[in-house]
C-alpha cells in the first residue's frame, strides 16, 4: 500500500515537473514563464469590461550580454476581418543576469488567434508560448445582464461566494475566479484587477501583501472596485476618514469604490443581510459598462462633431459642375475651336483638376487636425494626494491619424462600438513600450470614436485653500491650475457656500448660500455617480441646483471648463472641448467663524 502511494507521489511530482518545464520556455540566454490566469470555478469563465492581464517573467541567464525582447499576441492570427484586435506588443531591454516582470494588457476587445510570440534582438523565434486566453469582450447593448466576476485569493477560495448570487435581486449569476498564484506575486498595476467586479482576500493575506500590490488593489478600489477582506484586521489610520458606520460590517468608501471587512466573529446565519449588500455593491462595479452604445448613438449622446457622413450637397455640386464641364462645355468649346482631338488631354486635365477641388474642399471644410471632447468627474483626495477620474472621451479626425491615440499606463479605455462581436472588418493594434499606444484602427477618418475612461494618479499640487472670514463668508485660493466656473463648498457643519468664476491662482470670497445643508453621503458617489452612464450624473453633480445633494461636510464641488486630469490622447488637436467636475475632500476642515 505504501509502495503504491509512493509511486503515485513520484508520478505526481514528475507530471508537476513536466508542467513547470512547459510553462518556462528557453530561447538561448532568455527564459520566459507566463503566469496562469485566475481559474474559473463558476460561470462562463469570460469577463466583459476592464483589462485582461498576461503576466510574464523574463530571465536573462547571460552574465555579460543585455538583450532586447519583444512580446506580441497573438502569435498565430486568423479571421482578420472578423476580429478587431490584430496584435498587442511590448518590447523591453533586460540587463545581463537579471529577472523582469512584464505585463501585456488586453482591453475588452477580442484577440483573433492564439499563442504568445517572442522576438529576441529583432529576430522572431520559431517557437511560441501557449497561453490561456479567456474570453474577454465588452458586449454592445449588454444592458442589465452578464455575470458578476469575482476574484478570490487562494486563502479565500471559491466557497465564500458560492451562495452569494442568491443575495441579489437582479438575477445576475456568479462568475467566480480563484487566483492560481499567492497574493505576494499579484499584479502591481491596478488595471490587472479592472476586469473583476470584486476582489476577495483574507485579512492575513492583505496585511502580508507587498506595498506595490496593496497600492494597486487600493487604486482598483478608488476607480470603482469592490474589495472584501475576510476576517479581522486593524485598518490603517488613514482609512478612518473613509469609514462609514455599519452595524454588521466595517465599511470604507474610498474614491468611487468600497472596502468591506467582514470580521471573524460573523455567524453564517447572521450573514444574509451584509452578504446581500456586498453582492449588490459588486454588481455596481460593472454597471457603467452596461451602457455601451453604437457609434451614432454615442455621438448623439456626446457629440464631438455636429454632422456625421460625407458632405453630400457640396460634393454633388462639384460633381455636377464636373459632368457639365467635361461633357457639353468641353465639346462645344473644342468644336468651335475645331480642335476636337484635344479631348485626349483636356479630359484628363479636367478630371485631375476636379480631384484637386474635391480634396481641397474636404481639407478646407474640416482641415487636417482632429477634434476631441472630454467630460469627466474627478475625486480629489487632498489628504491622500490622489486624483481619481471617470468620464467620456471622444475623438474625430478628418483623416486617419498616423500616430493613433496615446494614454498612460494607468488609464483604462472602454470603446463604444457598433457590434457585439466587433465584426466591423477593422483590425486594431496597441503596444505598451513607453505608454499605452492605441496605434491602428481605433480612430479612422470621419468616424467618431468614443471611450469610457477611468484612471487614478497621484496629485501634484492641485487643491483649494480655504480660510475663515466671517460667519457667512469663506476665502478660497484656486490652486487647481484651471479657472473655476462655479464653486460650492460645505464647512464642517454642512453649511453650503458658493462663488462664481475663480481664476487659476486667484482668490475670491464664497458666500453662505440660502439653501438646505449638505445632504451628501459617501455612498452617493458610488451608487449614483459611478453606477450610471456617467454623462447624466456628471452633469447633475456639476449643476447649481443639485450641488447640495452631493456635498458632505468639508468637501467642495468645482466646475472647470478644461480637463487637467485627462490625457489629450490625440496629437495635434484643432479643438478640445472639455468640462470637469471636481469633487474635493479638503485636507483640512473648512470652517467659518
What was the pLDDT predicted at 11?
36
Cell of 253: 468608501
Specify whether 459 is located in the same domain as 525. yes
DSSP H or E segment with residue 207: helix 203-208
| Residue 282 in domain | no
* Phi, psi angle pair for 300, to nearest 5°: -70, -40
Please state, rounded to an integer, the average pLDDT across all residues of the chain: 86
Q: Which of 270-274, 330-334, 533-537 has the highest average model confidence (pLDDT)?
A: 533-537
Cβ–Cβ under 8 Å, residues 49 and 108: yes
Over the stretch 375-434, which tens digit does the pLDDT of each residue have?
A: 999 999 999 999 999 999 999 998 889 899 999 999 999 999 875 444 455 778 999 999
Specify whether 337 is located in the same domain as 453. no
Specify whether 47 is located in the same domain as 127. yes
Q: According to the 3-state scheme, what is the secondary structure of 34-66?
A: ECCCCEEEECCCCECCCCEEEEEEEEECCCCCC
Specify whether 341 is located in the same domain as 358. yes
Specify whether 323 is located in the same domain as 386. no
Residue that terminates a domain, selected from 101, 122, 137: 137
pLDDT(5) > 50: no
Q: Quick one: pLDDT band at residue 7, thresholds 50, 70, 90? A: very low
Specify whether 525 is located in the same domain as 394. yes
What was the pLDDT predicted at 55?
95
Kindly give, in sequence order, each residue whose CB lies less than 8 Å from that of residue 47, ignoring residues fewer than 6 positions away. Answer: 108, 134, 135, 136, 149, 175, 195, 196
Over the stretch 502-552, which tens digit does the pLDDT of each residue have?
A: 999 999 999 998 777 899 998 999 999 999 999 999 999 999 889 999 999
What domain count does the chain have?
A: 3
Specify whether 553 is located in the same domain as 589. yes
| Residue 2 in domain | no
| Residue 355 in domain | yes
CA distances for 12 relative to 33, 181, 198, angstroms: 21, 19, 34
Cell of 510: 464664497
pLDDT(350) > 80: yes
Residue that terminates a domain, selected from 137, 171, 195: 137
| Cα torsion 512, 518, 522, 528: sign | negative
pLDDT(264) > 90: no
Over the stretch 40-64, which tens digit does the pLDDT of each residue have?
A: 998 889 999 999 999 999 999 999 9
Residue that terminates a domain, selected from 137, 154, 179: 137
| Residue 186 in domain | no
Range of the domain at 549: 370-401+443-593
Residue for grid cell 455593491: 281
Specify whether 395 is located in the same domain as 486. yes
Report the candidate in 14, 109, 32, 108 with the shortest Cα–Cα distance to residue 70: 32
The percentage of residues in the chain with a pLDDT greater than 90, rounded to a whole number, is 60
| Residue 228 in domain | no
250-254 and 386-396 strand pairing: unpaired
Q: Quick one: pLDDT band at residue 446, thresholds 50, 70, 90? A: confident
| Residue 303 in domain | no
pLDDT(210) > 90: yes
Query: Can you give the pTM of this predicted structure?
Result: 0.88
End-to-end CA distance of the chain: 84
| Residue 204 in domain | no
We report the CATH number of the domain holding residue 129 as 2.60.40
What was the pLDDT predicted at 195?
97
CA atoms within 13 A on the CB side of 22: 8
Specify whether 476 is located in the same domain as 355. no
CA-to-CA distance for 293 and 19, rounded, in angstroms?
Answer: 43
Residue for grid cell 457629440: 303
Specify whether 499 is located in the same domain as 374. yes
Q: Which residues pair with 489 in a beta bridge?
A: 497, 556
Specify whether 319 is located in the same domain as 382. no
CA distances for 67 relative to 70, 122, 387, angstroms: 10, 10, 37
What was the pLDDT predicted at 294?
86
Report the candidate in 582, 590, 554 with the shortest Cα–Cα distance to residue 379: 582
What was the pLDDT predicted at 337?
86
The percentage of residues in the chain with a pLDDT greater than 70, rounded to a whole number, is 86
Specify whether 448 is located in the same domain as 354. no
Over the stretch 59-83, which tens digit does the pLDDT of each residue have?
A: 999 999 999 999 999 887 765 444 5
CA-to-CA distance for 496 and 517, rounded, in angstroms?
Answer: 6
| Length in residues, the chain | 593
Helix axes 343-366, 312-324, angle to 10 degrees: 160
| Residue 263 in domain | no
Amino acid at each position: 500500500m505504501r509502495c503504491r502511494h509512493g509511486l503515485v507521489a513520484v508520478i505526481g511530482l514528475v507530471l508537476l515537473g513536466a508542467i513547470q518545464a512547459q510553462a518556462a520556455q528557453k530561447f538561448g540566454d532568455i527564459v520566459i514563464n507566463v503566469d496562469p490566469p485566475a481559474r474559473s470555478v463558476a460561470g462562463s469563465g469570460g469577463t466583459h469590461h476592464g483589462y485582461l492581464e498576461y503576466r510574464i517573467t523574463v530571465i536573462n541567464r547571460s552574465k555579460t550580454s543585455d538583450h532586447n525582447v519583444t512580446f506580441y499576441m497573438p502569435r498565430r492570427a486568423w479571421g482578420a476581418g472578423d476580429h478587431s484586435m490584430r496584435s498587442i506588443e511590448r518590447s523591453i531591454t533586460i540587463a545581463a543576469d537579471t529577472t523582469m516582470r512584464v505585463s501585456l494588457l488586453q482591453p475588452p476587445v477580442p484577440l483573433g488567434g492564439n499563442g504568445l510570440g517572442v522576438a529576441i534582438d529583432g529576430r522572431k523565434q520559431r517557437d511560441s508560448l501557449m497561453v490561456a486566453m479567456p474570453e474577454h469582450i465588452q458586449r454592445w447593448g449588454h444592458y442589465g445582464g452578464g455575470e458578476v466576476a469575482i476574484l478570490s485569493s487562494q486563502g479565500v477560495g471559491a466557497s465564500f461566494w458560492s451562495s452569494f448570487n442568491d443575495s441579489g435581486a437582479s438575477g445576475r449569476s456568479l462568475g467566480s475566479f480563484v487566483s492560481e498564484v499567492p497574493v505576494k506575486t499579484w499584479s502591481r498595476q491596478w488595471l490587472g484587477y479592472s476586469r473583476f467586479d470584486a476582489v476577495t482576500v483574507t485579512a492575513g493575506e492583505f496585511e502580508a501583501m507587498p506595498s506595490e500590490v496593496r497600492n494597486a488593489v487600493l487604486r482598483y478600489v478608488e476607480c470603482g472596485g469592490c474589495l472584501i477582506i475576510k476576517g479581522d484586521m486593524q485598518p490603517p489610520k488613514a482609512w478612518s476618514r473613509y469609514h462609514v458606520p455599519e452595524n454588521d460590517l466595517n465599511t470604507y468608501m474610498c474614491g468611487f469604490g468600497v472596502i468591506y471587512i467582514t470580521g471573524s466573529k460573523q455567524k453564517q446565519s447572521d450573514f444574509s443581510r451584509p452578504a446581500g449588500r456586498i453582492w449588490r455593491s459588486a454588481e455596481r462595479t460593472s454597471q457603467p459598462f452596461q451602457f455601451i452604445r453604437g457609434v451614432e448613438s454615442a455621438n448623439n449622446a456626446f457629440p464631438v462633431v455636429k454632422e456625421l457622413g460625407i458632405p453630400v450637397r457640396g460634393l454633388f455640386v462639384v460633381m455636377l459642375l464636373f459632368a457639365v464641364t467635361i461633357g457639353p462645355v468641353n465639346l462645344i468649346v473644342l468644336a468651335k475651336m475645331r480642335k476636337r482631338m484635344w479631348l485626349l488631354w483636356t479630359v484628363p486635365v479636367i478630371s485631375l483638376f476636379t480631384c484637386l477641388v474635391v480634396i481641397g474642399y474636404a481639407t478646407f471644410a474640416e482641415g487636417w487636425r482632429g477634434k476631441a471632447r472630454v467630460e469627466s468627474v474627478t475625486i480629489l483626495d487632498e489628504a491622500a494626494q490622489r486624483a481619481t477620474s471617470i468620464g467620456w472621451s471622444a475623438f474625430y479626425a478628418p483623416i486617419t491619424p498616423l500616430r493613433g491615440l496615446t494614454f498612460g499606463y494607468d488609464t483604462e479605455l472602454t470603446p463604444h462600438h457598433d457590434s457585439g462581436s466587433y465584426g466591423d472588418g477593422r483590425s486594431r493594434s496597441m503596444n505598451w513600450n513607453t505608454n499605452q499606444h492605441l496605434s491602428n484602427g481605433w480612430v479612422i477618418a470621419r468616424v467618431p470614436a468614443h471611450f469610457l475612461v477611468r484612471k487614478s494618479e497621484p496629485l501634484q499640487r492641485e487643491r483649494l485653500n480655504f480660510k475663515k472670514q466671517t460667519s457667512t463668508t469663506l476665502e478660497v485660493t484656486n490652486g487647481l491650475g484651471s479657472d473655476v466656473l462655479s464653486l460650492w463648498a460645505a464647512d464642517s457643519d454642512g453649511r453650503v457656500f458658493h462663488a462664481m468664476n475663480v481664476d487659476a491662482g486667484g482668490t475670491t470670497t464664497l458666500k453662505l448660500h440660502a439653501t438646505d445643508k449638505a445632504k451628501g453621503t459617501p455612498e452617493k458617489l458610488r451608487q449614483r455617480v459611478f453606477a450610471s452612464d456617467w454623462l447624466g450624473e456628471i452633469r447633475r453633480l456639476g449643476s447649481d441646483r443639485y450641488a447640495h445633494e452631493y456635498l458632505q461636510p468639508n468637501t467642495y464641488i468645482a466646475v472647470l471648463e478644461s480637463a487637467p486630469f485627462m490625457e489629450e490622447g490625440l496629437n495635434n488637436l484643432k479643438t478640445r472641448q472639455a468640462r470637469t467636475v471636481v469633487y474635493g475632500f479638503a485636507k483640512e476642515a473648512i470652517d467659518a467663524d
